[in-house]
Structure 1
Amino acid sequence: MKRSRTYAIASLAAVGSLALSACSDNTASDSGSGSSDGGSGSSIDCGSGDLVASGSSAQAKAIDKWQADFSGVCPDVTVQYDPSGSGAGIKDFIAGKNDMAGSDSALKEEEQPEADARCESGKAIHLPMVISPIAVVYNVEGVDDLTLNAEVLAGIFGGTITTWNDPAITALNPDATLPSTTITTVFRSKDSGTTDNFTKYLDAAGNGKWTFGTGKAWTAPGGQGAPDSAGIAAAVQGTDGSISYVDGPDAKANDLSTAKLDSGSGGVEISDDSVGKAVAAAKQEGEGNDIKLSIDYALKEEGAYPAVLVTYEITCEKGLDAEKVKTVKSFLQYAATDGQDSLSDLGYSALPDELKSKVESSIEAIS
């Protein structure tokens, strides 16, 4: 199957388990203090013991990479990450089962006080750490270049556009030969932050064509459900006429054809530049060290790719167990500095400099 944009497959070692065992000797410092120079001139004061986290599967490939590299910086920390989904990660955090939750959406209004209560002496804060485009992936025989917009996607996933040669699709692709193949939509059957952000894009940019609301649960009728990104990739690869949505790294790793998005100035493909424009246009919400971003999914800026998701690491600003504070901070400091350098190769986008600086300051405040 041909692709609409060229992806270089990232060379990742197969990871059967998301737990890395730490070495017995702390090599981060000759003095044995566990202090290491991090990116951007920051100093990482290494903790020790287990860091338990769970949540977003969208950031799983980033966590895999960070785990492997971080073990060489802070070898006395064992990072255990369960990519169980954003909703599950938040539930684990509120219940005190993890030290940090990864979520592709900010805490809901009713979840914030529950998360704050788990922190006891402080509040739960959001730290944007991983930026991923939401790739609209498809498998249509003979079609290797496809442009869609939010209004047409709302019709496709809402069931009002049912064949690939529908006039609304051909209008966006005048040079393509589109077949009469029936469209098969594939959606996440489990609660998903990717679903939440994709439906927010359809709702904001779809000119009223999307009538099924937003949220982690898919509510539109019809289609074929898949529990996770791997299931979606398999379904799309195995079904001619299919279309779905996954985070950029999964589209890249599975060599899936990816549509360009047209927000009014022609089709825009996924790139660091196009995703960066969308993130730079986001407004910051939250107060103090709580960094929540409001993405403008209806962004019309030329060259911007507005269907993006931001994965937050949610943890306590204050109130973690004393022995956990240094452990959590050291990993987050690494992720926000040197860890950002590897993201583009995996299909993510690094934090813009201004946002990155704010995140580093918030991590420093954790106590």
Structure 2
Amino acid sequence: MKFQRYGAVAGVAVAAALALSACGSDNNSTTSTSTSSAGSTGSSASSCPSGTLNAAGSTAQTNAISQFTKDYQTKCTGVTVNYNSNGSGAGVTSFIQRQADFAGSDYALSSTQAAQVTSSGRCGTGSAVDIPAVGGAIAVIYNIPNVTTSLNLSAKNLAAIFDGTITTWNDAAITKDNPGVTLPSTKIQPFFRSDTSGTSYNFSNYLNNLGGFAAPNKQWPGKAGQGVAKSSGVAAKVKATAGGIGYAEYSYATQDSLTFANVSNAAGSFIKLTQTNASNFIAKAKVAQTGADTKLAFDYQYSAADAYPNVLATYEIACGTGNDSTALPLIKGFLGYVVSNTAQSELTNLGYVPLPASVQAADASAISSLS
């Protein structure tokens, strides 16, 4: 069955459905069971799987997955979760090549990738599914000597910076949007992701929709700057470079104490990056679900003054059917925890954005159906 809806309703009650994925029975449970999701049979809600789960992919969700892994392994002591933060593209490749039980990706599977899953028999005669799990904001980070204020950087000006048209920080187009701020003539040093990256895809999608940038791409489509592997690499380069600018998931900006910009929305207003503002924008995403496969499409024309439009969602990509029988309970258990209220409530403190309740409910249903 297919359905589409706008605006995930945050007030939808999902606690009962998500509780089925909790590993323990106490109120502070931070783990999930592999076999207690709705649709499972022959197991209790307090059971935990055992074994090793291998995953790879998105660097944007690294800090979240690290915390989730710690929590899950504390409760389910027989489980080991290994996550290789090698980037969205590499993670999907690892999944297709059976080197990972599931992949983290900041974009849903492309038609080409989906075809590779099918042709390789990765999921037997079945296909892979996309499960949005971690919401996030993309911070435009910069390092300008003696400037610590949050600049207003429009999508149009950012597109020009990453295309090499705007080359100094005191360019008239930037100073116009930042009255009262003294900007130096320092050369702008753009940094972008050199690896196949979902963060690149989502940032370029924002710039394409609102700034006239090149078509969104997992391989950065800009014309200027220096490529650096992983979000942590971009953050480190910006921090070490006078005049540097780049993009990284919000948690990297905060943990490295980097200054980040207010960016423009479709109405031309500048929106401050806060987790609440990012959450407000993500909540207006168009949600399309076909069976267990769930995709979010951001509405870049949504221009509320409290909605930060430069966002992403990390998907966990797994086989809908055809999972290895040994790995299946581990996949369902861990992913069930990731989308639970317990885990999602941790995201704010980790620098991420909890998903709207209706998306969590769709995720819980999808995970319980994996086979």
Q: 1:147, 1:260 within 8 Å by CA — same for their partners in 2?
A: yes
Structure 1 position 118, deviation (Å): 1.1
> What's 2:153 paired with?
148
Structure 1 position 221, deviation (Å): 2.3
Structure 1 position 28, deviation (Å): 4.7
Q: 2:34, 2:333 within 8 Å by CA — same for their partners in 1?
A: no
Q: 1:127, 1:290 within 8 Å by CA — same for their partners in 2?
A: yes
Which whole-Å deviations, capped at 9, do the CAs of 1:100-148 have from their partners, x for residues lacking one? 0000111111111222431114321111011110100001122222111
Matched, 1:301 2:322: no
Matched, 1:131 2:131: no
> What's 2:273 paired with?
270
Q: 2:35, 2:329 within 8 Å by CA — same for their partners in 1?
A: no
> What's 1:56 paired with?
58
Q: 1:29, 1:35 within 8 Å by CA — same for their partners in 2?
A: no
**3-state SS of 2:327 partner:** helix
Cα 1:199–1:162 shift into 2, 3 Å? same
How large is the RMSD of aligned CA atoms in angstroms? 2.2
2:240 aligns with one of 238, 246, 267: 238
Matched, 1:329 2:332: yes
In 2: Cα distance, 1:35 partner to 1:221 partner? 47
Q: What amino acid maps onto 1:318 in structure 2?
A: T
Cα 1:47–1:243 shift into 2, 3 Å? same
> What's 2:87 paired with?
85
Cα 1:35–1:192 shift into 2, 3 Å? closer
In 1: Cα distance, 2:308 partner to 2:36 partner? 31
2:249 aligns with one of 247, 250, 264: 247
Q: 2:35, 2:332 within 8 Å by CA — same for their partners in 1?
A: no
In 1: Cα distance, 2:231 partner to 2:293 partner? 29
**3-state SS of 1:281 partner:** coil
Structure 1 position 219, deviation (Å): 3.1
Q: 1:286, 1:292 within 8 Å by CA — same for their partners in 2?
A: yes
In 1: Cα distance, 2:195 partner to 2:71 partner? 31
Which whole-Å deviations, capped at 9, do the CAs of 1:42-64 have from their partners, x for residues lacking one? 94642211111001111111111
Give the paired residue count. 333
In 2: Cα distance, 1:277 partner to 1:257 partner? 22
Structure 1 position 35, deviation (Å): 5.5
In 2: Cα distance, 1:326 partner to 1:279 partner? 30
**3-state SS of 2:81 partner:** strand
Q: What amino acid maps onto 1:149 in structure 2?
A: S
Correspondence list, 1:60-75, <5 A: 60-75=62-77
In 1: Cα distance, 2:198 partner to 2:361 partner? 25
> What's 1:173 paired with?
178
Cα 1:181–1:309 shift into 2, 3 Å? same
Q: What amino acid maps onto 2:55 in structure 1?
A: A
> What's 2:292 paired with?
289
In 2: Cα distance, 1:198 partner to 1:296 partner? 14
In 1: Cα distance, 2:301 partner to 2:220 partner? 20
In 1: Cα distance, 2:356 partner to 2:47 partner? 24
Matched, 1:204 2:209: yes
Cα 1:310–1:317 shift into 2, 3 Å? same
Percent pairwise identity: 41
Q: More displaced, 224-233 or 353-362?
A: 224-233
**3-state SS of 2:287 partner:** strand
Runs (5+) with no aligned partner, structure 1: 1-26
Q: More displaced, 100-109 or 172-181?
A: 172-181
In 1: Cα distance, 2:148 partner to 2:345 partner? 31
Q: 1:128, 1:291 within 8 Å by CA — same for their partners in 2?
A: yes
Q: 1:237, 1:256 within 8 Å by CA — same for their partners in 2?
A: yes
**3-state SS of 2:360 partner:** helix
Which whole-Å deviations, capped at 9, do the CAs of 1:4-56 have from their partners, x for residues lacking one? xxxxxxxxxxxxxxxxxxxxxxx9579xxx969999xx946422111110011
In 1: Cα distance, 2:250 partner to 2:24 partner? 33
> What's 2:344 paired with?
340
**3-state SS of 2:74 partner:** coil
In 1: Cα distance, 2:177 partner to 2:47 partner? 53
Q: 1:38, 1:334 within 8 Å by CA — same for their partners in 2?
A: no
TM-score when scaled to structure 2?
A: 0.85
In 2: Cα distance, 1:71 partner to 1:284 partner? 31
Q: More displaced, 343-352 or 112-121?
A: 112-121
Q: 2:347, 2:354 within 8 Å by CA — same for their partners in 1?
A: yes
In 2: Cα distance, 1:314 partner to 1:161 partner? 38
> What's 1:358 paired with?
362
Q: 1:37, 1:44 within 8 Å by CA — same for their partners in 2?
A: no
